[in-house]
Structure 1
Amino acid sequence: MMKFAFSLKNKLKIAFLLFCIMCCTLLIRFLEDKSVKKINESFISMYNDRLVPATDLYFIGENLYHKNTILQEALLPDNPVDPSAGKAKIDKHNRKIDSVINKYEQTLLVKQEQSFLNELKKALLIQQDIELKVLNADATQRRMIYESIGRGAADQTLNKLSALIKIQSKVGDELIKGSKIFVSGTKVYSTLQMILAIVIGIMIVSIISASNAVKIQHDKFNLN
């Protein structure tokens, strides 16, 4: 009877232990899956919302350079400039820039990033207006308009673009830091699983040892 009672007690302990193991394993598995999902989302965001847009922003700079080249050609002395032809060339680059900005606006933007983008859009509109004034002016006024307001507007646009590119790098660093935190979390969960396995092993060995001890005592009692 004593042996049966001890056996039943051990079975209940083992059943409860297995239940706890199952709960802990499921919880750790859930946390691990959540961390892996967050890491995956961070890398996807890094590519779609940071790497690709940063490349597109440099493409804007390239088009700004080409527009400035067109204006510089218009400033050459005794250079017969057809305003409609020059405007057509600049409009072509403006459409490319607008296309990139529209694409960029579809990505995930932080508050500061949205603010810098709005400032860039305003600077681009100002620059476009001045470009038209330069192209529509006569040869003597073109240089004056460009030197008085045109050069400053172009520099201002480049400054706004540079600020937007820098914030891309800053947000990218924050995403990397976030990924490192999730990676550290997965390491912690792996360590917990190892500790849990060791504790389980110790408890099982203890139960078996205790069972053997009772069995020996019971056998001695029967011999007596």
Structure 2
Amino acid sequence: MKFAFSLKNKLKIAFLLFCIMCCSLLIRFLEDKSVKKINESFISMYNDRLIPATDLYFIAENLYHKNSIVQNSLGFSERSVHPSVGKLRLAKYNRKIDSVVSKYELTLLVKQEKQHLDDLKSALTHQNVQENKILNLLHHDILEGRKLYETSGGNTSSKSLNSLSVLIKMQSKVGDELIKDSKIFVSGTKVYSTLQVMLAIAIGILIVGIVSASNAVKIQNEKFNLN
């Protein structure tokens, strides 16, 4: 009878330890998953937000240079440029911008970003067409070229910059969302760590209980033998 009672208690203890072990493994799995998500968020922040944001500002810089070339070709500044030279310089900046846009398309984009990127590409294409028209007119009639620039050419440049500005703001918004997600994952790892500490305490209490029960049984056996 005593043996059956002892076996029953041992089975209870073994089952309890097994449950604690399963909980520990589950918490460890969830913690590793959370850390992986945090790592992915930071990688995405760098590859899909930080570097592309720098590239977008690079596009803005090139758009500024393009507008300066057109104005110089129109004779609006002291640094006048021949229309043929202006077209060559514009072509160089257009290649740079196209290269950056193609690179940007390969990054992780949300639905709104894709839409704003399409708007930017459309604005850039329209700007290139207008700039070529202006510079072609300058070969024949500089007044007509200036007129086209003042009526629509300058506006196309502003539209490109506005589209670019919207895309940059969208980058910042998505980046903030990634940071919020990372904070959630970090909070999760803190919870998992707390649970691990609680399980460790539970195991410690269980061990102390087993040792105390074992000592109590030993003392009772000694008293029984003395009697």
Q: Is TM-score (shorter-chain normalized) higher than 0.5?
A: yes
1:1-49 residue CA offsets vs partner (Å, 9 max, x unmatched): 62x4454334323322332222112111111110111011000000000
The 3-state SS of whatever aligns with 1:108 is coil
* RMSD, matched Cα: 2.0
- Find the aligned partners of 2:221 and 2:12 in 1 and give their Cα distance: 21
Q: Is the 1:81–1:135 contact (alpha carbons within 8 Å) kept by the matching residues of 2? A: no
- Find the aligned partners of 1:80 and 1:73 in 2 and give their Cα distance: 5
- Find the aligned partners of 1:27 and 1:54 in 2 and give their Cα distance: 39
* 1:202-213 equivalences in 2 (<5 Å): 202-213=205-216
Q: Determine the structure 1 residue equivalent to 2:71.
A: 72
Counterpart of 1:203, as a letter, is L
Q: Determine the structure 2 residue equivalent to 1:50.
A: 49
For 1:196, which of 190, 199, 204 is the aligned residue? 199
State the identity as a percent. 71
Number of residue pairs matched?
223
Unaligned stretches of 5+ residues in structure 2: none
For 1:174, which of 170, 177, 185 is the aligned residue? 177
Q: Determine the structure 2 residue equivalent to 1:128.
A: 128
Q: Is the 1:10–1:207 contact (alpha carbons within 8 Å) kept by the matching residues of 2? A: no
- Find the aligned partners of 2:15 and 2:222 in 1 and give their Cα distance: 28
User: What displacement does 1:80 show?
Assistant: 7.9
User: What displacement does 1:86 show?
Assistant: 1.8
Distance change (3 Å), C-alpha of 1:79 and 1:143: farther
Q: Determine the structure 2 residue equivalent to 1:163.
A: 166
The TM-score with structure 2 as length reference comes to 0.91
Whether 2:97 is the aligned partner of 1:97: answer: yes
Query: Which segments of structure 1 move beyond 4 Å, counting only runs of 4 or more?
Result: 77-82
Q: Which has the higher contact order (CA 8 A, sep 6+)?
A: 1
1:120-169 residue CA offsets vs partner (Å, 9 max, x unmatched): 01110111111011101121111111110011111111111011011111
Deviates more, 1:210-219 or 1:97-106: 210-219
Distance change (3 Å), C-alpha of 1:189 and 1:197: same
The TM-score with structure 1 as length reference comes to 0.92
Whether 2:139 is the aligned partner of 1:140: answer: no
- Find the aligned partners of 1:95 and 1:199 in 2 and give their Cα distance: 66
